Every structure is written in structure tokens, then in C-alpha cells.
Structure 1
């Protein structure tokens, strides 16, 4: 993945926002935006940190997930694993090729929830037990804008139904 002292990470959830990304990975530098094909964005597992369901990607032909590509120090990868709950079998990390707007690809790490949702809903039709909190959605939407994701995708993220929680969150909380 290039320089052995750094690697690339594809963020599609709260880590789209630089302020959020720097909580646990201060070395992160936004490198580009891109998409992974044949995956869809979903919300499945309740997060104590966010008081609602957290984002994941799910293999699904014909869909795409847009996100930010961050270059991070290889030394920060364990912190990112901890944040994502790899040690608790919440997410797992894998490598994938991310397609950049110019058509080139970049190999990146990405995280996917271990327990995949089995029922597919449109983002604007999630049932109550699959909805993120307003605060979590707002971080994702602000991060998508900050990352300059395509307008159509930002509108898609804005359409996500929320569970109503607008209170405080603890970004240092390990689930």
C-alpha cells in the first residue's frame, strides 16, 4: 500500500469529518474521495457512543458507497481498529480498491460490521430499530460536505431517517 510507514483508509461514516477523524488518528490527512462499487451503505448495530445505529457497508451488486480516503500513519492503525471495535468483533478491517473520480484506483483499508443486516431498506425508509441518531447523521452529512462528496450522494445521506436523539456523545467511549 505504498509507503510502509503510512497507509490509506476509506471512511464512509463519522470519519468523513476531519474533526472526528483526528480524535483517534491525529496523523490523518485527507488524500482524495472515491467510491467502492457493489456495496451499499446501511445502518445496523446500535452504538452506545452515538445513541443509535452506526454505519456499515454491505455487499450489494449495483450499489456504490462514496467516502473520503485518508492517508494515516501505520502507527495509528491500532487506534483505528480500537475505535471500530475490531477487538470486540464489531467491525473487521479489509483491503479494497477504491475508485477515484478520475477512474484510477487506490488500495485502502475499510471497515465492515461483522453482523450484516439481512433486510435491505432504502436509507429514507429505515425502521426505528435501524436508525442512527441525529447527532451521528449530522457528523456524517457535515463530513460528506467537508470531503466534497458528489452532490447526489450528499442528498442521499441527508435523506437518512433518524431516531430522534440529539444529545451529547462520548467520542472516547470504547464500546
Structure 2
């Protein structure tokens, strides 16, 4: 009998999927064993360029920016979980799409890592609600993202949440 390891997929999460409890809710499986650790993506910055109707708020996205860095979580997921992840990210509806990126995690480089980017980006950022903010920040803390980065992310969210409703109409 041949004992084969299941096909695996490296996945870089930078938004709500950093929170393994929230990701577990979607995938219906404990994902903690699949966490490799905190990872860094260079050449991108974060932004809230997606309006998630099901959450009634802005959701994270990444955009190319050669002078920036995005921190997140690197998972090594069984490939059988990717279809459920695609549904979560609204890939069939054109919300997000796959993008292959290179990340650094625990002094190693990982190439051709799957992540998700928004297909039709909003012209301006749309603020997340308190629930989404809590999930993102909980994931960032649990996975021990750099403190300065967590503060930057939180300050950016607060700035967006203080915008006037008329500012959001343009988005």
C-alpha cells in the first residue's frame, strides 16, 4: 500500500483569514496545524479596495507598491480546501482572484504562493466595520505580526472609519 501525502498548497493570508478561528469556520476543519508562521510580502501594500456585501463593509486587498511590505500568515493547506477558500473569497463571482506571490517566512523564501487580490478595485478605500476589524486584528495579534505593523494597520482602519458618509458615496 502506498501512503501518499495529500497535495498541498502554500497560501498567504493578509486579511480576515489570518485569524485561524475564522478560517476554520469557513473550511470546517482545524487549520492551526497548517500554519507555518508569520510571513512578509514585499512590493505590495494593503488597502480596503473591496466592498464585501455579505459583511456590509470594506475588506482588505493588496496592491503593488515597490516601497511597501505586507505582513500576514503563511499556511500549508491541503489542496482539497482551496475550493472552499475560493468560495469564501468570492472567486466565482469575480470578487477576488488568485495571484502567485513570493513571501519570506522563518528565514526562508517561498515562491509561487497563492494569495487573493480584488478583481475590480474601488477607486477609494471603503472602511471595514468593527466585526471585520476585530477578526483582522485578532489574526494579526495571534500570529504575532510585528507590533509596528499592527499599529499601522489599526491606525489606517481608524482613519477610514472616521470618514464622513459623503466621502464614502464616491466609493
Partner of residue 8, structure 1: 10
Q: 1:27: Cα distance to partner?
A: 5.3
Matched, 1:157 2:160: no
Equivalent position to 2:109, from 88, 105, 109? 105
TM-score (norm 1): 0.80
Measured against aligned partners, the alpha-carbon deviations of 1:117-151 in whole angstroms (never above 9, x if no partner) come to: 455xxxxxx6xxx1111110111011000001111
Equivalent position to 2:66, from 40, 61, 79? 61
| CA distance in 1: counterparts of 2:80 and 2:89, whole angstroms | 16
Partner of residue 44, structure 1: 49
| CA distance in 2: counterparts of 1:148 and 1:57, whole angstroms | 20
**Whose helix proportion is higher, 1 or 2?**
2
Number of aligned residues: 152
Q: 1:49: Cα distance to partner?
A: 2.5
Q: 1:96: Cα distance to partner?
A: 1.2
Partner of residue 140, structure 1: 136
| CA distance in 1: counterparts of 2:71 and 2:35, whole angstroms | 14
| SS in structure 2 at match of 1:23 | helix
- Whether contact under 8 Å (1:27, 1:72) holds in the other structure is no
| CA distance in 2: counterparts of 1:76 and 1:91, whole angstroms | 17
Q: 1:48: Cα distance to partner?
A: 2.1
Equivalent position to 1:90, from 92, 95, 104? 95
- Whether contact under 8 Å (1:14, 1:140) holds in the other structure is yes
Partner of residue 18, structure 1: 20
Flag the structure with larger Rg: 2
Partner of residue 75, structure 1: 80
